Amino acid sequence: MNTYPMYIGGKPVHTGRSLDIVDPALDEPFARVAAAGPEQVEAAVAAARAAFPHWAASPHASRAALLHALAGALEAHMGELMELVTRETGKPLQGLNQVGAGMELGGAIAWTRVTAGLSLEPELIQDNARARVEVHRKPLGVVASITPWNWPLMIAIWHVIPALRAGNTVVLKPSEFTPVATARFVELANAILPPGVLNMVAGGGEVGAALTAHPGVDKIVFTGSTRTGKRIMEGAAASLKRITLELGGNDAGIVLPGIDVRAAAPRLFGAAFHNNGQTCACLKRLYVHDSQYEELSAELARLASRAKVGNGLEPGVELGPLQNRGQLDIVKALAADAHAQGGRFLSGGEARTGRGYFFDPAIVTGLSNGTRLVDEEQFGPILPVIRYADVEEAIRLANDNPNGLGGSVWSSDLARAVQVARRLECGTVWINEHGAVQPDAPFGGVKQSGIGVGFGRQGLEEFTSIQTVKIMKG
């Protein structure tokens, strides 16, 4: 069993302590990662602070070239990293609609290349005989990145690459459930980047808490649950650290009357069930008009019953296991409550016996707002389909949630769909699609789904401070 080191100051670090990383398809460890204590957190922050002045002063073109080289390293090791992602997350190598480990690596490479090409040129506010006023963007310092277990490598890229591009240095802490592919990525990166620019510490919540409360950290970027995000925000308050939080989502989709059910159903199913529903911006609540409710629900159930569930390393598998036993227990509890509340399961809804954290994909009808499966983020392969009578009711129900990450409207009438979409309380809204993000368009949540955005110029700006320069000419 391989043991992967942490990286601090450009050097591999073993501590004598390690995390056993479980393959969720087999319910047994397949790798180990060196575990950090308080002294490694201190050393990692110190290394990042020492590396910051030189990295921040390096030319933009130089930083961009190194990040492009890092994208090349990801490409060269794509097969190896895909297998590690599948072993630690359970997501198939290809997956439902090709959303699997291959897409995670492809996305990581694309985001690295696009972000490397971004720039933050000074903005000219005034230039006349009296004065010239410019707005400059400056790196913040040391960024602490804390990543989740559902898309561990791609989200690490989403955090790390814009931070580095803007001139910051980074201490990265991956989820204790899925640090393996990230550890390998950091190893590859440290063969390219100057020492101390990208450091990694591994461990549980105590390591994350030590990192986010550290006075030597200038910004925290976190993707994960709203509950944890609130704790991070509390810890950041003592020193007024900058924060970017991409938190929980309970994304609603509204299907307007008159859609082509057969054409729309596979896209709706893919939006809800890719990566077993373990994506913040998955479709998690589907509101369907009376006129097509039964037909669409039955078609979704047919697709769920046909989906191939199994070990993600096996050919043709579309859905793997849940990533960890705790998440499987959450999905089981929500399914049990849905049964108790009168939900009708048209497909699936049971955990499989034997090895691994498998749950058969479920379509549930007969529920509405006020039940746990509708109100809470399930983060698993179980979708409530909710009946509505008029569009105003659907908009009200969709907005009746503390989360506001994404939402979607599905219709053959695009003008009508846009009208409805603009009234949804969410950071991103899609028309006839759900969850498709791209590296040049900002993405983030409103309400309790987060603070700040990622991606594109707006996401890059999150890793900078503004300095206004006023030059008097008289």
Kindly name the residue from 280, 318, 377, 461 that is annotated as catalytic: 280
Q: 282 catalytic, yes or no? A: no
Residue 420 is which amino acid?
A: V
CA distances (Å), origin 441, targets 333, 444, 459: 36, 10, 9
- The position carrying tokens 């803007």 is 166
The answer to whether the beta carbons of residues 345 and 339 sit under 8 Å apart is yes
The token duo for 34 is 């060196």
Residue 72 is which amino acid?
A: G
The token duo for 263 is 């054409």
The token duo for 96 is 């439902």
Q: 246 catalytic, yes or no? A: yes
Which of 426-432's residues contact partners 24+ apart within 8 Å by CB, and which partners?
A: 426/251, 426/252, 427/453, 428/281, 430/406, 432/264, 432/267, 432/408
Sign of the CA dihedral running 10, 12, 16, 22: positive
Q: What is the rounded CA–CA span in Å between residue 467 and residue 432?
A: 41
Instruction: Please list the residues that pair with 18 across neighbouring strands.
Output: 34
Q: What is the rounded CA–CA span in Å between residue 309 and residue 305?
A: 10
Kindly name the residue from 176, 246, 461, 462 that is annotated as catalytic: 246
CB-count exposure of residue 468 (10 Å: 0-12, 13-18, 19+): exposed
Q: What is the rounded CA–CA span in Å between residue 280 and residue 247?
A: 8
Point out the residues that are catalytic: 246, 280
